[in-house]
Amino acid sequence: MGPIKLGVIGAGSAEFSAGMVRDICTTPSLAGSSVVLMDIDEGRAQTMHRFAQRYVHELGSSVSFEWTTEREVALRDADFVINTAQVGGHSQVERIRAWCEDRGYYRGFRLSAIIQSRFMVSVARDMERLCPKAWLIQASNPVFEGCTAMTRATSIKVCGLCHGHGGEYAIARVLGLDGSKVKGVSVGFNHEIWLTQFEYEGRNAYPLLDEWIETKSTEYWRGYRPHYGENQMSPAAIELYKLTGLMPIGDTPRNGGWWLHQHLETKRRWYGGDGGFDSEIGWAQYLENTNGRVDAIHRAVGDPSVKLTDLYPPKPTGEQHFPLIDALWNDNETVLQVNVPNNGAIKGIPDDVVVELPAVCSHRGIQPIQVGKLPDVLTLNQLYPRLLRAEQTVAMALHPDERVLLQMVLDDHRTKSWDHAVSFTRDALALPEIAELVAEMTRPTHPFAAR
């Protein structure tokens, strides 16, 4: 079908947008497409627009770009929308995290996930007015909760994408296997996916993993100091495999259970080195590296002597956004890892819950593989508890109720007592970042003060 009109919400996210510009410009079947870059930060929107214009000029691409600070301009009559926005950016998330830590919740609480999920729903509701037939591709987190909320609250076609899959290749590297001969299938929820099929040269490769654990893992972990983002073969991942019978993939080992995350020393035990991606050390490294890459993009844009196509070669980044758009729009059929409503794909999971799994994508839409029943021990001990936490966040996003928030706090292993939970909940409701949520909130019959 040729060109599309694409709206990008949160286009000031420089690292993502730079990759997006490369990807659409190197997808021949999308030549002539028009892209509207939207961000509430005018300076960031203009910077990414200049990046796109220069990149297009250097490449001789026919893709056109414009920028705006108005969401409506980006959405009106769009064929596709990519939402990569994070409300308040990292600064707001870190501010809320610090507030929670001061009250005893190491590495934060789920307040930012509620805020972000509500924002995602607002974008989807605007799409119902302005581009009701468009596909919404959700790029920013929380993909699981946000996509579930959007598909329940609106009629918009939603697909969440994440690059936290493909961990079977990391496993293969450690095992010394040829990655080209590896096949893996991972299913579950976003950041909670499990390797249901692991093959090497057409045969079950789990015995090879078992042998490595038995004979080589101890030596591998001796002095284990991985890159802050590497956790696929961490002690945490292997312990979760032993507990469930399936290997956790990608970001999944970062979750697992509270016992992996009590404090920094616990994190060091399970993730090695500085405690992994989600420790205060690992996350600070991530933010520093991310800010460094973003600064490099801004410097390059501001220096006319720099050739952007030299710094950012015109080849696909490996992200799935434009292969998905190409498949849905131009019928270039492909199999991708997606987040879409379950609709019977995984037995025992409600149909209106968004699951992550491989799917055939084409002009006919997104057709997930049929998974069937997963092992009971995995479902009961990992998927259902994770689903309950997601349902609480979705409930707070769609129908905020301070009783639900209080129960979320009471369920948290870091909560010391009823009084601690009540105090934290009451103080959280006074935060300016959730004032809009509080304005819509259902109040209990008996206020906290009367209990």
What would the pLDDT profile of 426-449 be if each residue is shown by its tens digit?
A: 999 999 999 999 999 976 655 554
pLDDT of residue 1: 73
Q: How far is it, in rounded angstroms, from Cα 235 to Cα 316?
A: 33
Task: For residue 163, indicate whether it is catalytic.
Answer: yes
Q: What number is the average pLDDT over the span 372-397?
A: 97
Report the percentage of the chain scoring pLDDT > 70. Answer: 98
Q: How many CB atoms lie within 10 A of CB 346?
A: 26
pLDDT of residue 159: 98
Query: What digits encode the pLDDT tens for the residues 97-115?
Result: 999 999 999 999 999 999 9
Report the percentage of the chain scoring pLDDT > 90. Answer: 94
Q: How far is it, in rounded angstroms, from Cα 144 to Cα 161?
A: 10
pLDDT of residue 18: 96
Q: How far is it, in rounded angstroms, from Cα 302 to Cα 197?
A: 48
Q: How many helices (H) does the chain have, and how many strands (E)?
A: 19, 13
In this predicted structure, the answer to whether residue 132 has a pLDDT above a threshold of 60 is yes
- Is residue 76 within 8 A of residue 131, CB to CB? The reply is yes
Token pair, residue 318, equals: 């490996």
- Is residue 138 within 8 A of residue 146, CB to CB? The reply is yes
Of the residues 163, 227, 263, 363, only one is catalytic, namely: 163
pLDDT of residue 451: 46
Question: Residue 64: pLDDT band by 50, 70, 90 thresholds?
Answer: very high
Question: What would you measure as the largest C-alpha separation in the chain, in angstroms?
Answer: 69
Q: How far is it, in rounded angstroms, from Cα 121 to Cα 113?
A: 12
Question: Residue 450: pLDDT band by 50, 70, 90 thresholds?
Answer: very low
Specify the higher pLDDT residue, 255 or 393. Answer: 393
Which candidate, 201, 196, 195, places its Cα nearest to that of 171? 195
Q: What number is the average pLDDT over the span 146-151?
A: 98
- Is residue 92 within 8 A of residue 371, CB to CB? The reply is no
- Is residue 142 within 8 A of residue 122, CB to CB? The reply is no
pLDDT of residue 445: 57
Token pair, residue 39, equals: 């961000």
pLDDT of residue 210: 98
pLDDT of residue 366: 98
CATH 3.90.1820.10 intervals, the chain? 1-163+291-375
pLDDT of residue 284: 96
Question: Which contacts (CB < 8 Å, 24+ apart) does range 388-395 have?
Answer: 389/110, 390/144, 390/145, 390/148, 390/189, 390/353, 392/110, 393/110, 393/113, 393/114, 393/117, 393/142, 393/145, 394/117, 394/145, 394/148, 394/149, 394/152
As a whole number, the mean pLDDT across the chain is 96
pTM of the model: 0.96
pLDDT of residue 79: 98
Of the residues 23, 39, 251, 326, only one is catalytic, namely: 251
List Cα–Cα distances, 344 to 82, 324, 368, in angstroms: 26, 22, 10
Task: For residue 420, indicate whether it is catalytic.
Answer: no
Domain 1-163+291-375 belongs to what architecture? Alpha-Beta Complex (3.90)
Q: What number is the average pLDDT over the span 278-296?
A: 95
Question: Residue 422: pLDDT band by 50, 70, 90 thresholds?
Answer: very high
pLDDT of residue 225: 86
pLDDT of residue 442: 75
pLDDT of residue 94: 97
pLDDT of residue 444: 65
Q: Which amino acid is at 59?
A: L
Question: Residue 127: pLDDT band by 50, 70, 90 thresholds?
Answer: very high
Q: How far is it, in rounded angstroms, from Cα 269 to Cα 259?
A: 11
Which candidate, 54, 9, 61, places its Cα nearest to that of 30? 61
